[in-house]
Amino acid sequence: MNQVPTIQLNNGIAMPQLGFGVWQVPDAEAAQAVGTALEAGYRSIDTASIYGNEAGTGKALAASGLPREELFVTTKLWNHPREPWGRDNVLREFDASLEKLGLDHVDLYLIHWPRPMREDYLAIWKTFEEIAESGRARAVGVSNFQPAQLERLRAESPLVPAVNQVELHPLFGQAELRAVHAGLGIATEAWSPLGQGKELLASPAVLAAAEKHGRSAAQVVLRWHVQHGTIAIPKSVTPERIRQNLDVFGFELDAEDMAALDALESGRRIGPDPQEFDA
Ligand code: A2P
């Protein structure tokens, strides 16, 4: 069994530093992929209402027979398609996610995108305060938030997000945002930690470190996350890769490797710009 270290969130809850992400995994395949991940030793699963696979994820959680307290389940509130979210809709969406997952609580509930042009994230956060208080989410946080939005929450709410889950990988390392998180006590979580498995995994710096340590390119990149203190949720539907991606605690990158990976920073996102994204 792989020993995954935990990160202590700002409300004292422990979150595994490496989890399994199911973005783009169809519901029909999710049960199998999540089942493989749980067998491999993952205990943290990251889904979202928009992924359409909360039901498949829930099936795998139930079928695993693992005690609930050993699991760490994250899901996310999707953007309202037409108008700002109100309290009732947010609570209804949250109930629907719990029902699909077959759970009475999640470990982490996130606002999926800030949509600053809608000006509703603060009101949503007020409802998240209620959800946190009810214990139906052990922690609440945000995703794709920028410093200005984090500052606004800090100014207007006593509740600091436990986590901000953002696009982050060596090609887009988010150094500035990570510093803001450190100042506010927010844990940094990386989506697409492998850069979606594209050019990042073929870059010379990553391949050189892989060769040096006798590891795969993906393992090197995940190790970079671990050593930066980031929570990472790699996605794969390939059983061999699912297992391989968890096996990153038996080697260490040295300062030179870390610097070479840091130097891959391109300043370019793969995914949408959160300031503009309004799906
Ligand atoms: P697949 O799901 O077909 O195994 P990210 O988590 O950064 O979004 O990356 C996910 C992408 O990276 C998927 O296309 C996935 O492919 C691929 N991937 C995941 N793990 C590995 C790995 N160990 N080696 C190569 N590619 C991987």
pLDDT at residue number 85: 84
Query: Using a 6 Å cutoff on CB, does residue 245 contact ligand 1?
Result: yes
Confidence of residue 3 (pLDDT cuts 50, 70, 90): confident
- 74 belongs to a structural domain: yes
Is any ligand 1 atom within 6 A of the Cβ of residue 197?
yes
- For residue 83, the model assigns a pLDDT of 73
Instruction: Report how many domains make up the chain.
Output: 1
Asked if residue 121 is part of any domain, the answer here is: yes
pLDDT at 142 (0 to 100): 98
CATH of residue 131? 3.20.20.100
Is 214 a domain residue? no
pLDDT, tens digit (0-9, with 9 covering 90-100), for 13-67: 999 999 999 998 999 999 999 999 999 999 999 999 999 999 999 999 999 999 9
**Residue owning the nearest CA to atom 19 of ligand 1:** 236
Confidence band, pLDDT 50/70/90 cuts, at residue 162: very high
Is 98's pLDDT higher than 60?
A: yes
pLDDT at 212: 98
Asked, for residue 21, whether it belongs to a domain, the answer is yes
In a domain, 32, yes or no: yes
Atom 2 (ligand 1) nearest CA? 236
What number does the ligand 1 atom closest to the CA of 244 have? 23
In SS3 terms, the chain reads as: CCCCCEEECCCCCEEECECEECCCCCHHHHHHHHHHHHHHCCCEEECCHHHCCHHHHHHHHHHHCCCHHHCEEEEEECCCCCCCCCHHHHHHHHHHHHHHHCCCCEEEEEECCCCHHHCCHHHHHHHHHHHHHHCCEEEEEEECCCHHHHHHHHHHCCCCCCEEEEECECCECCHHHHHHHHHHCCEEEEECCCHHHCHHHHCHHHHHHHHHHCCCHHHHHHHHHHHHCCEECCCCCCHHHHHHHHCCCCCCCCHHHHHHHHCCCCCCCCCCCCCCCCC
- Domain holding 95, by residue range, is 6-196+230-236
Write down the pTM of the prediction: 0.97
CA of 26 to the centre of ligand 1 (A): 15
Q: Is 42 a catalytic residue?
A: no
Residue 128 lies in a domain: yes
**Does residue 174 have a pLDDT over 90?**
yes
- Whether 273 shows a pLDDT value over 80: the answer reads yes
Quick check: is 256 in a domain?
no
pLDDT at residue 90 greater than cutoff 60: yes
| Residue 2 pLDDT grade (very low, low, confident, very high; cuts 50, 70, 90) | low
